[in-house]
Structure 1
Amino acid sequence: MNEPYRNISAPPRAIIRQLDESAINRIAAGEVVERPASAVKELVENALDAGARRIAIDYADGGKTLIRITDDGCGMTGADLPLALSRHATSKIDGSDLLNIHSFGFRGEALPSLGAVGRLTITSRTADGDGMMIAVSGGRMETPRPAPITIGTVVELRDLFYATPARLKFMRSDRAEAMAIADVIKRLALAEPEVGFTLRDVSNGDARMMFRADPVSGDFFDALHGRVASVLGRDFADNAMRVDAPREDLRLIGYAALPTYSRGSSAAQYLFVNGRPVQDRMLYGALRAAYMDVLSRDRHPAAVLNIECDSHLVDVNVHPAKSEVRFRDPALARGLIVSSLRHALAEAGHRASSTVGAETLAAFQPEPNATARVYQMERPSAGAIRHSLAYQAPEQDMGFAESPSARFEEPAPQEIARPLGAARAQVHENYIIAQTENGMVIVDQHAAHERLVYERLKAQRDDNGIATQALLIPEIIDLSASDCARLMEAAPALAQLGLTIEAFGGSAIAVRETPAILGRVDASALLRDILDDLADIGSSDRLQARMDAVLSSMACHGSIRSGRQMRAEEMNALLREMEATPLSGQCNHGRPTYVELKLADIEKLFGRR
């Protein structure tokens, strides 16, 4: 049946017109200022670029009605103020080299964008000038006038988005917006440890301190360690590994937490490029890949890491918010993160998070009904303890039978002095109790041995290469042209992991060999999973992860089972191997393999201190 006749006429010709400056700034504000936290980020970065050493941030109603940034930077003159509010006016670059950027800001968009959608006031003074103030509301700028102020700048933004009320409908609750502002300030505080930050909520006329980070002195690592402790907590600082790894023209520096200090979300991951906080999928994917072998899928590593490189090796002018970057050699940047963190994890050896012991002690604490009585007791010497125990020992003819499996020789001092001490008992046929110089260690024998066997299997695989199995009939998989090209680009890397693929004409891929350790493989599903990874983060560790999962399963079945009684020499041999094996502080899924309890903490449980 023929379609009915439709009279399709050409639409009227639209007239091309030049938008006015106010409309341009409101459009730009949609990219630069998404929410109050975006405004805070832009204004604080301006303060840092001005050389400020102390920055105070005040906000009200989640930043919707007031944002005030006060800094002690170099300030601006009266002639600078109108220019600062002009679009694409900046003191950061001269425009000749858009890759030679060494400041947070450089686009010259933030202040005119904020002035276009809110009520903006800037008061500033230089070291050799007088204080001046300028105001702009909804894009209408007033004439600068004198104002009292010390050296530095105060930027006050009121009624954000009042000129674009539709944007207010997309704002979240005051609490959610305040949390986003706090996250921005924490990231910038980690980027600049030598700068002091204060964040206050001044809603309803009350000033509540929400965050404070005093300036930290010392070299980079000392300053960053102090700032990490104040921003992320002492537990993170105590359980973080120092990372300082150069690779060609890049350098990775910062701190990464032990696997047993993992988090339930990625909120404790802070990544920087040349000191600039970034939200880059490729970098976060590399961080996840570095911990792939020591964390389960529902756990996330914690880290504060900065990639240093020449400014010409990275493009920060990718997005108006400047939170995304593009490396000239992304594979080099990703490889640096993965290899550096895996090396740091290996060097950590059997070390496990100190919070494991603290959590164990907390589980022992009784309910806080009343203040516990403290009994002051002198601690006897080691010789006095031996004589006392000998005196209290039962006579041999009292009828007590001694089980051979329960006999433990008195450990030598050098055994007790080892990091995991000397085995003294086995309880519930699964937990080894070891004595150290200043406490005790409880080891999960199955989890510990599982990690040891797993590391042995991986070493054997790496030493002997990855065995492959040739498919009798190659599996042909039809893909799109772009997916085919992406897979063939990754073919050399996949071949090193035992997966051999070839182009099969058109956009088809032929799978000729697969890793023997995986057994029968659904090649089509595997390739499509790898393609998803390549499209998402530009690389894929899926094949490696599947091989490691098989080895992990083999290690689980080949390790000491729970319920098996062990002789004292077997327990001590397990402890010694743990001390010599990388990553032995956690099992294959990131759970701790042992808990260390300090004698001083144990004595507190019994009111002895």
Structure 2
Amino acid sequence: MSEPDPNIGDPVSDLADPVSNIGGPRPVIRQLDDAAINRIAAGEVVERPASVVKELIENALDARASRVEVFVADGGKTLIRVTDNGVGMTAQDLPLALSRHATSKIDGSDLLNIHSFGFRGEALPSLGAVGRLTIRSRTNGGEGCEISVSGGAHTAVRPAALTAGTIVELRDLFYATPARLKFLRTDRAEMQAISEVVKRLAMAEPFVTFVLTDVSGGKSRVTFRADGETGDMFDALHARLRGVLGKDFAENALAIDAQRDGVHLTGFAALPTYSRGSAVQQFLYVNGRPVRDKVLIGALRGAYMDTLSRDRHPAACLFIDVEPTRVDVNVHPAKSEVRFRDPAIVRGLIVSALRAALAQAGHRASSTVANETLGAMQPEQTEPRVYQMDRPTGGIGPAYRPSGFADMAQDMSGRVEMIEPNDGPRAEEHPLGAARAQVHENYIIAQTETGIVIVDGHAAHERLVYEKLKTQMAENGVAAQALLIPEIIEMSDDDAAQLLAVADELSRFGLTIEPFGGRAIAVRETPAILGEVNAEAMLRDILDELSDQGSSTLVQEKLEAILSRIACHGSIRTGRSMRGEEMNALLREMERTPRSGQCNHGRPTYVELKLSDIERLFGRT
């Protein structure tokens, strides 16, 4: 029998070693007290002051309030007060409201049929566990009452004087968990987050009045106000968006109203030429609840796919209404994420509805294009303007010499082709007017009844050719080239199943895949227009999109990118002189073609300047 190796320890003694990872005394299961449970729950529900404001406003809306006022001090760190004129609570309700999982929103029998903002019953007890919370409430015709909780300790209910409604006041947020305070940002940043929350909820409820007041430092300053709108839903929502997002968004937004398979989509989506550098103006709601859902964001991106470059983001405020049993809102503590039973239906509705709206907008471009043009044309004013009529009539000094066209000729570049108005006496009545000149062999100057239009001839023709090619592809299908030897790609079972589930959709774009036994997939055909394709790399990219967004538009994007390049090379080149008939024909075709107001990358194809704007440039107003 061999001697034991001294370098190998005794396995029995190692297990008993308290320093070992798996050694030591057996852990004991303990029941946490209510205070600890509430603080843990608060860590999920109350992330920052903006989370508190969101929960309290949603409670007010669930209480059918028509007016909600929010008062904040020091970014919400020292004071958050939300006042509403809702149905209120009785003296018997107040202690229950501070108990975990006590709610009036649901009865607990069906968590998939939720019609309210709140339903967990966690917000108020969580707030009472980490701050100093006071609730005052009165029902219509009842008596006012008040209760307080500090660090989880309740007071008795006592009488209070107030009108019908509820006032919830939270002071010294996170005083019971001071470590959380270190993770908060500056007062200004927290106030900005609170303002964003109030604005998002204000857009969801256009008939409700919202007021946000900053009371820091003993001063009171209203930072946001939106009075309740009147009229039908679309008019009220449009007016509310004008007040919250600004006049430019309201003027350049298209109304959306579409329905499919029990899913109703409403709202407003902006023209592609009113795009943003980031997704700051994308607001998505499901049954009135603001959400951040990758399926919805991907669908919005897909709807603008061939009208915006990848570094630009569409602006939209969209509302999806669906039967509560077809969407699960109980998937995130902050209720900011949802899960659809049929995500493909929702995504398809968003893409088709927005593309139809953009197509119906025709040649329309955003009004901000003209405003930016006017801003770029404003001369720098280093000294007050002196017009000719204001100059002294006699004794013009040697420093002043009147200049005419002859003096300007040497500084002018390009060539102007004047066009006689031979296309009818009222050609200016067309939306894009009648062509009058071409400058620099590219830009068409057209006269309308109310001003002028400057058209980028190359960009406009590029969009026209591109739309024709897309129409032809849709009508005739995508030509596929069969591979002489099918490419066999090995992948995991889940990846193979994901790809085969969308095989029919991929085949519409000329990419044919089939199962090849086990975990392999055979690529039989690829789109002919793409030429030689790395099929494995393409399928991996499609898988990434399916995992990230629930659907893939990669093949369609590649095809449309090729068509876009073909359109670019096949369009009118800069530097070519055009006859008057050609220019007017181009203008008329732009008026008939969907999405002709922007090129394939989202840039405007024309700028319209009103006569009043031009006169203002020359100081004639």
Please state which band the TM-score falls in when normalised by the shorter chain.
over 0.9
| Structure 1 residue 169, shift from structure 2 partner | 2.2
Could you say which residue in structure 2 is the equivalent of 1:397? none
- Aligned-partner Cα distance in 2 for 1:141–1:404: 82
Deviation at 1:411, TM superposition (A): 4.8
Is the CA contact (8 Å cut-off) linking 2:416 and 2:437 kept in structure 1?
A: no
Pair 1:8 & 2:31 matched:
no
Counterpart check, 1:223 vs 2:240: no
**SS where residue 475 of structure 1 aligns?**
strand
**1:74 corresponds to which residue?**
87
Q: How does 1:323-472 map to 2 (within 5 A)?
A: 323-368=336-381, 406-472=418-484
Q: Distance in 2 between matches of 1:113 and 1:375?
A: 73
Question: Is structure 2 residue 311 aligned with structure 1 residue 298?
Answer: yes
Are 1:148 and 2:161 matched, yes or no?
Answer: yes
Rounded to whole Å, the distance in 2 between the matches of 1:513 and 1:310 is: 41
Q: Tell me the equivalent position of 1:84.
A: 97
Match of 1:178 in 2: 191
Evaluate the alpha carbon distance shift between residue 250 and residue 372 of structure 1 in structure 2; reply closer, same or farther with a 3 A threshold: farther
**Partner residue of 2:567?**
555
Task: Provide the rounded CA distance (Å) in 2 between the counterparts of 1:128 and 1:3.
Answer: 84
Q: Deviations over 1:15-54 (max 9, x none)?
A: 2222111111111111111111111100000011111111
Q: Distance in 2 between matches of 1:449 and 1:524?
A: 36
Aligned to 2:393: none
Q: Does 1:98 align with 2:111?
A: yes
Taking the aligned partners of 2:180 and 2:421, their CA distance within structure 1 comes to: 75
Deviations 1:196-249 (A, max 9, x none): 111122211122222111111110000000000000001100000000001120
1:500 has 2:512 as partner: yes
1: distance between equivalents of 2:289 and 2:542? 31
Over aligned residues, Cα RMSD in angstroms? 1.9
Structure 2 CA distance for aligned equivalents of residues 310 and 343 of structure 1 = 24
* CA–CA distance in structure 2, aligned partners of residues 455 and 157 of structure 1: 57
Give the partner amino acid of 2:85: D
8 Å Cα contact 1:75-1:151 kept in structure 2:
yes
2 CA distance for matches of 1:3 and 1:287? 64
CA distance in 2 between counterparts of 1:285 and 1:373 reads 55
Instruction: Indicate how the Cα distance of structure 1 residues 349 and 373 shifts in structure 2: closer, same or farther if over 3 A, else same.
Output: farther
2:362/2:596 contact within 8 Å kept:
yes
1:602 matched to 2:614? The reply is: yes
User: Aligned-pair distance for 1:154?
Assistant: 1.0
The one-letter amino acid of 2:294's match is: R
Query: Matched residue pairs, number?
Result: 583
> Which segments of 5 or more consecutive residues in structure 1 lack a partner in the other structure?
377-402
Task: Report the Cα distance in structure 2 between the residues aligned to 1:53 and 1:340, rounded to whole angstroms.
Answer: 32
SS of the counterpart of 2:591? Answer: helix
The residue number in structure 2 matching 1:520 is: 532
Distance 1:273 1:3 in 2: 64
The Cα offsets for residues 149-187 of structure 1, whole Å up to 9 and x where unpaired, read as 121111111111121222222212222221211111111
Name which of 180, 205, 211 aligns with 1:167.
180
Q: Does 1:21 align with 2:25?
A: no
CA distance 1:374–1:154, change in 2 (3 Å)? farther
User: Aligned equivalents of 1:153 and 1:23: distance in 2?
Assistant: 28
Instruction: Give the Cα–Cα distance (whole angstroms) in 2 for the partners of residues 374 and 123 of structure 1.
Output: 67
State the Cα distance separating 1:424 from its structure 2 match.
0.2
CA distance in 2: counterparts of 1:181 and 1:141, whole angstroms: 27
SS in 2 for 1:169: helix
What is residue 587 of structure 1 aligned with on the other side?
599
Is the aligned partner of 1:212 residue 2:225? yes
Distance in structure 2 (CA, Å) of the matches to 1:415 and 1:557:
30
Please show how residues 98-137 of structure 1 align to structure 2 within 5 Å.
98-137=111-150
Matched to 1:557, the amino acid is: H
**What TM-score, normalized by structure 1, do the two folds share?**
0.93
Q: Is the 8 A contact 1:374 1:608 kept in 2?
A: no
Contact 1:350 1:585 in 2 (8 A): yes
TM-superposed deviation, 1:323 = 1.1
Q: Which residue type is aligned with residue 347 of structure 1?
A: Q
Give how far 1:132 is off: 1.3
Q: Secondary structure at the match of 1:577?
A: helix
* Unpaired segments ≥5 residues, structure 2: 17-22, 390-414
Conserved 8 A contact 1:375-1:608: no
Any residues of structure 2 matched to 1:46-65 within 5 Å, and which? 46-65=59-78
Q: TM-score scaled to structure 2, two decimals?
A: 0.91
CA distance in 2, matches of 1:264, 1:39: 30
Report the Cα distance in structure 1 between the residues aligned to 2:383 and 2:416, rounded to whole angstroms. 45
The percent identity for this pair of structures is: 68
